[in-house]
């Protein structure tokens, strides 16, 4: 799949995203002109606010059921267009519905079929899994446009098993949860974690590989395309390893050569 330009849409509430350096990294990695844009909802209308509020998930164990939002919910979404840091706990959204909404916000008169759009958001995107019949938080919703949820990166991969065991064992004893968090600090990502910017690069690779090859993930832990289900695996693949495996490095090399040839 040829790509002529990569467009990346900022999430200003996440300074660790480092949109300027990320654009340079993407351009150097894929040899494709990378263009920065403001947050995808910067100039969104009230209709988009209504659609977002309608895509909220209220029952994690049922397939998507369109929600009839209240005026307050619509107003909340509208306010986030100008202040993306505005939050009310963690609200889950159906990832595919969310993707339809952001697609409608992309200006079709300024792009072409060979453009790739990568949208960053702090909203939690989820997809319904028919295997266990429940929604799961997702860091990546692939396709074009692709969506990377920074909240999904933090909340979707599980923390250490011992963390949950200790949390549950002490839940009824009045133990300060913060003391448990402090004990396991560093073993998982936190909000505004300094490691987030580097890990986002790995999800960018997954999004682009899915668009290029149809396969976003790698079974090897020593590859940035590994689909980590645990925070420890995520940190290893993206920070300790920090590279593509030999197979996917070769795929990228060959794709760059072919993409350059077709320019």
* Model pTM score: 0.93
The pLDDT tens digits for 65-91 are 999 999 999 999 999 999 998 776 789
Structure confidence at residue 90 (pLDDT): 87
Region 120-147: what's the mean pLDDT? 96
Separation of alpha carbons 256 and 253, rounded Å? 5
Structure confidence at residue 133 (pLDDT): 94
Total of domains in the chain:
1
Which stretches within 135-195 are classed as H helix? 150-155, 161-169, 177-183
Report the CATH number at residue 127: 3.40.390.10
Q: Please, what is the Cα angle at 245 between 33 and 29, to 5 degrees? A: 10
Structure confidence at residue 254 (pLDDT): 97
The pLDDT tens digits for 137-175 are 999 999 999 999 999 999 999 988 887 677 777 666 656
Structure confidence at residue 161 (pLDDT): 82
Region 114-127: what's the mean pLDDT? 97
Structure confidence at residue 174 (pLDDT): 56
Structure confidence at residue 263 (pLDDT): 62
Average pLDDT, the chain: 92
The pLDDT tens digits for 31-66 are 999 999 999 999 999 999 999 999 999 999 999 999
| Percentage above 90 pLDDT, the chain | 82
Structure confidence at residue 85 (pLDDT): 87
Structure confidence at residue 175 (pLDDT): 60
Residues 6+ apart with CB under 8 A from 97: 51, 54, 55, 64
Residues 6+ apart with CB under 8 A from 54: 66, 67, 68, 69, 97
Q: Which of 22-26, 51-55, 256-260 has the lowest mean pLDDT?
A: 256-260
Q: Is 179 exposed, middle or buried (0-12, 13-18, 19+ CB in 10 A)?
A: exposed
Region 190-212: what's the mean pLDDT? 97
Structural domain span for residue 163 = 5-261
Predicted confidence (pLDDT) at residue 177 exceeds the cutoff of 90:
no
């Amino acid at each position: 799949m040829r790509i002529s330009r990569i467009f990346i849409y900022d999430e200003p509430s996440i300074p660790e995203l480092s949109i300027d350096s990320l654009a340079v990294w993407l351009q150097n990695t894929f040899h494709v002109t990378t263009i920065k844009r403001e947050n995808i909802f910067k100039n969104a209308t009230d209709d988009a606010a209504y659609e977002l509020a309608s895509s909220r998930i209220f029952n994690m164990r049922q397939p998507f059921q369109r929600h009839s939002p209240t005026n307050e919910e619509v107003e909340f979404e509208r306010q986030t267009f100008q202040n993306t840091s505005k939050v009310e706990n963690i609200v889950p959204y159906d990832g595919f519905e969310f993707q339809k909404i952001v697609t409608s916000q992309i200006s079709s008169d300024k792009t072409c079929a060979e453009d790739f759009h990568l949208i960053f958001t702090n909203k939690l995107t989820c997809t319904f899994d028919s295997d266990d019949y429940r929604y799961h938080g997702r860091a990546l919703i692939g396709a074009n446009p692709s969506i990377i949820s920074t909240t999904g990166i933090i909340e979707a991969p599980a923390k250490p098993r011992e963390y949950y065991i200790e949390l549950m064992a002490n839940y009824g004893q009045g133990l300060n949860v913060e003391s448990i968090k402090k004990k396991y600090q560093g073993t998982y990502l936190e909000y505004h974690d300094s490691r987030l910017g580097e890990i986002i690069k790995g999800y960018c690779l997954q999004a682009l590989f899915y668009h290029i090859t149809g396969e976003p993930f790698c079974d090897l832990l020593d590859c940035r395309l590994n689909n980590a289900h645990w925070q420890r695996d995520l940190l290893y693949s993206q920070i300790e390893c920090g590279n593509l495996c030999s197979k996917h490095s070769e795929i990228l090399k060959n794709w760059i050569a072919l993409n350059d040839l077709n320019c």
